[in-house]
Structure formats: structure tokens, C-alpha cells
Chains A and B, each alone.
Chain A
Amino acid sequence: MLSEDQVTHIANLANLDLEESQVPQFQKWLSEVLDYFEILDKVDTSQVEPTFQTTGLMSVWREEDKAGETTTLSSSEALSNATQQDGKYFVTEKVL
């Protein structure tokens, strides 16, 4: 069972705001799912390599002469859905 502190820690890592009142509910849900994952311990994978993708493709390169055809967005297109923008930049909270 995850502790409430662990749940809060995970939420922080994930940049999610959890209300204090929500923590017990998430604690219950997450713990239930994590408990279920224990079934994987039954499988012997000591000699097994992981699979991260099924295509077998590696290092797919774009053709040199097609470089110019890459889709790009204009500044105004890229800014068009911004919460706050000043015509040239996305405007965000001060970080420093």
C-alpha cells in the first residue's frame, strides 16, 4: 500500500496538483493497481531481454534532399493556442 507521502511525491514528480482531500482516493486506486502488478513477479524473466518497440527499425534518417520539405509552423501558427503570448514569444511565469 502506498503511503500518502508517496502519493503526494508522485503527484509532484508528475506536475499534478492533488487536493489533500483527493490523496486517500488516489492512494486506494494506485495501490490496488500496483498490487495487481505483483503477478509479474511470477514470471521468470532472468534470461529474457526487454522489448521496447516492435518495428525493429533503428536510426531512421531523413533523406538529405528532403530536409527542406519538413513541415514548419510560422510563429503566429505556433503561438495560436498559447494561454499567453506577446506576438513573438510564449509568456510564462517567471522561473528564476
Chain B
Amino acid sequence: MTTKLNELTIKESITGLKKKDFSSVELTQACLDQIKAIDKGINAFITVTGERALKQAEEADKLISKKREKAFTDQPLLGIPVGFKDIFSTQGVATTAASNILKDYIPPYSATVVNKLYQAGAVGVGKLNCDAFAHGASGENSDFGPTRNPHDLDRVAGGSSSGSGAAVAADELIFATGTDTGGSVRAPASFCGVVGLKPTYGRVSRYGIIAMASSLDSIGHLTKTVGDSALVLQITAGADSLDSTTSPTLPPNYSQTLEDTDIKGLKIGLPQEYFGDTLDPEVKKVVLHSSQVLEKLGASLEEISLPHTEYGIAAYYVIQPSEVSSNLARFDGIRFGHSRSDFGLEAKRRIMIGTHVLSVGYYDDYYLKAQKVRTLLISDFEKAFKKVDVILGPTVPYPAFKVGEVTDPLKMYMADVFTAPVNLAGLPALSIPGGTTKEGLPVGFQLIAPHFKENLLFKVGCVYEENKG
């Protein structure tokens, strides 16, 4: 085997573990060795749980020896190393939200998604760096230092799930969890050249995940392939009595839907508003080329319009900070965490924006207005999906920028222009690596589907992966 074990995908790892080509301990150790070798330069991890991971891997190996292939029927991710974005509560393991406020916080319980992944046999390698409280599009708002892009260490990894994107891209683990409130799984996926899924709002439980914006937070993950993404969603998706916003509809068998590789007749919409002058020409080139790959396989490309796109950022940055100001009110420095004066600048900015737009005299003009514009953005997508099956466009308007390059907060917010409207509408979206710039920087494109149509995203994504050449 010439591939290093930590470079494997979930699918390859499971195949290898089943055939006993290697053990979960060897696989996990390979990831831990990689972390030791390179993470100083990347800073993807806040906490590495090496000992725990190897114990879990040993248990996985025992089960595999005992039950062989059946072990994987019971636990589909058995022995696979995973990292959790550091806003996922992990019982007994530091959960910092990448903020000084929670730098000493050790949760007494785990998030539903963490429990589900452990029950599926995954091996927890550590807690991943991110923008503090998930506020950011670059990873630079972490109180533990920015995560660097493995493709160019002078550049950002994208945020807010920066550590997750970088760790997967750098083969420090096999897959990672993330959250996407305005693009925070998809942006690092695009910048780091990996696959990032934002599921439908309500598809995956938010219980135990430090809340950012409760009507927008979507619990996703980053993987090396689209097929892997489907395997993870199979575990994380589903109703949860601890999160009353989860959908009662049963998730389909995502992997089964990947068996159908025929996209003839599939209608793909390209929003004209997503391909304007603000789009980096190299990103445009990559994204259009990706759409043409699908067209050659029988899909039809159609220009559509999402006419309220230009209001998306304003609506999002009224609504999200409003919900943030409410959710971060719980950090009182009494029951847990340090004093509120330890909030970073971005958290303070967002809390204050939210507090202001919700306050008496301003609520109608700002918050209520934004929620009405939200209705119009949702209606744009609904009308589009009457004409096309799936929407394709850029994930972020540009490739990864240099650390320290974007200093104006408002300019940073603009990075969400293509991702945030999807969150306002609660739709699922998948960012897939489409190619690179001349300098070798990854460029992702995103597919957006109607609610609960993640299987369509996976199908199109897989077909693209198989045929991109």
C-alpha cells in the first residue's frame, strides 16, 4: 500500500479495516503522527485526544476481530478517526468554542451528533479550531490563533469551521464535523479543497452544539469525497427529542441513492446574480467548467434568477447577530466560563449589532424588515426550484486570501454572499472541489437543492467526482 493510512477516505478505510489490511489503531496512529508532524504550522487542533482515540481504536479493533464484517453493519463508521469542531460539546473533554471565555470549560454532556458518531464507532481524535463562537469566514477570529490553509500556510483556511477544513485537507484525520450558519462548512471546504455539506435546517440535531443563530445553524461535516459525506449524514441525520426543530421525516438511505449515476435530463440552474463582476475570474472559470462537466453527462444548464440576492447579506447580518446576541447572553461568567469582557472583538460587534436591531424603536425597521426580506429570498429559491432540480454556483467569490489581508469587518461579511441566503432559506447545499487557481489554490463550487434533497446533492456530486477528469 503506497498511500499513507491517514490519506484514506472513509470508504477506503472501511474496506481496509474489513479486509484486515490494517487496524484502526494503525489508522488512528497515522492520523496522530500526521498531527504531530504538521499541526504546529496549520493550527487545526485546539485539543488532541490521542490517548482516548487509541483506546477507542483498540475497542474498534476488538469488535472487528470478533464480528468481522458484521461489526460494520452494527457500526458503519467503526474505527474511523474524526475530529469535532470545538463548539460540539464533548463530555469530559475541553470545549472552548475557540474563545477565551470557555478556554477552561469541560462539558458534563456530549452533543447528540457526537454521541451518534461514537455509537457508530468513530474514533475521536480531537477538537478543532474555529472562529470563536463560529463568528467568521476565515478562521482568524479564533482566540487560539488562526488555522492556516494546508495549500498555502500564508493563507486562511476559511471559516468558521477552519480547523475542520484544514485537518481534512491535510489528512490529519479522515473526516470532521462542522456547523454552517452563513457558510461556515462550505467556505473552508472551498478554500481547503475538500467536500463540505450543509444539510437542510432541521435534518441534524443541534443539541449540545454551542448555539450561534438558532434559526440558521446547520450541523454539517467535511470529508474527502462526496460518497464519504453521504456515509456521515446517514449517521448524523434524524429526529432528536432533545432538539424540537429536527424534522420527524426519516432520512432516506443516502448511499443507496448514489447507485443511480444517470443525470440525463437533470436541470441545473445557474443564478445570473452569482456570476457578476464581483466574482473572481478564476473562480468563475472553475465553476463554469464544473457545470460543463455535468452538462456533458446529460444535464441541462439553465440561467435562472434569484433577484433578491443583493439583499441577502444585509438580511443575514441583521438576523444572525440578533440571534447571536440572544444566544450569547447565557455566558454570564457565573455558571460556566469567564467574564463577558473576555469576548473577542467580533463577538462583541455581533452582540451589539443584534442588541441594537432588536431594541425598542429599531426592531420593526431592522429585525422585522430583515425577516420579511428573508421571505422574499426563500420565495426566490422556491420559484427557481419550479424550473430546475438543483442550483449550481460559486461557494465563495474568491479563493483563500492571505492571513491579515481582510481587516474591515463588513468586507469579511461579504464573503457570505453566495452561502448565507441558503441558510436563510434552510436549504441543503454541498461544496465540492472544482479545481484550482493558477497559483494552485482550491476553488469549490456549490450545489443547492430543495429541502431534504441531500440525496440529490450527493448523486450529482458523486457523478461529478467520477467524471471530472
What are the residues of chain B within 8 A of A42 when measuring CB–CB?
A: 311
- B108's partner among A51, A60, A77, A92 (CB-CB below 8 A) is A77
> What's the tally of chain B residues with a CB closer than 8 Å to chain A?
61
B336 and A82 within 8 A (CB): yes
- Of residues 307 through 336 on chain B, the ones whose CB sits less than 8 Å from some CB of chain A are 308, 310-311, 313-315, 317-318, 325, 329, 332-336
How many Å from the CB of B18 to the closest CB on chain A? 34
CB closest residue in chain A, given B215:
A53
Bound Cα distance A80, B109 (Å): 11
Bound Cα distance A82, B341 (Å): 17
CB closest residue in chain A, given B325:
A14
> What's the tally of chain A residues with a CB closer than 8 Å to chain B?
50
What are the residues of chain B within 8 A of A60 when measuring CB–CB?
A: 244-245
What are the residues of chain B within 8 A of A1 when measuring CB–CB?
A: none
- A16's partner among B108, B313, B348, B425 (CB-CB below 8 A) is B348
Bound Cα distance A80, B337 (Å): 11
How many Å from the CB of A50 to the closest CB on chain B? 3
A40-B369, A54-B425, A81-B105 known; A11+B352 contact, CB < 8 A: yes
- Of residues 240 through 259 on chain B, the ones whose CB sits less than 8 Å from some CB of chain A are 241-242, 244-245, 247
A55 and B373 within 8 A (CB): no
B372 contacts the other chain (Cβ, under 8 Å)? yes
What are the residues of chain A within 8 A of B352 when measuring CB–CB?
A: 7, 10-11, 14, 16, 26, 30
B425 and A30 within 8 A (CB): no
- A37's partner among B317, B368, B372 (CB-CB below 8 A) is B317
B contacts with A: majority SS: helix
A57 and B245 within 8 A (CB): yes
Bound Cα distance A48, B366 (Å): 15
CB closest residue in chain B, given A84:
B334
CB closest residue in chain A, given B104:
A81
Give the interface centre of B313, B333, B352 by most chain A CB atoms within 10 Å: B352
- Of residues 253 through 293 on chain B, the ones whose CB sits less than 8 Å from some CB of chain A are none
B348 and A26 within 8 A (CB): yes
- Of residues 351 through 372 on chain B, the ones whose CB sits less than 8 Å from some CB of chain A are 351-353, 355-357, 359, 366, 368-372
A96 contacts the other chain (Cβ, under 8 Å)? no
What are the residues of chain A within 8 A of B1 when measuring CB–CB?
A: none
What are the residues of chain B within 8 A of A21 when measuring CB–CB?
A: none
A62 contacts the other chain (Cβ, under 8 Å)? yes
- Given A16-B341, A48-B375, A81-B108, output 13 extra A-B contacts at Cβ < 8 Å: A14-B352, A16-B348, A17-B340, A32-B408, A34-B356, A54-B451, A55-B201, A57-B244, A66-B241, A71-B242, A73-B109, A77-B108, A84-B334
19 contacts between A and B (CB under 8 A): A14-B352, A16-B348, A16-B351, A32-B408, A37-B366, A37-B370, A48-B376, A50-B375, A60-B244, A62-B241, A63-B241, A66-B241, A69-B241, A81-B106, A81-B336, A81-B337, A90-B334, A90-B335, A92-B334
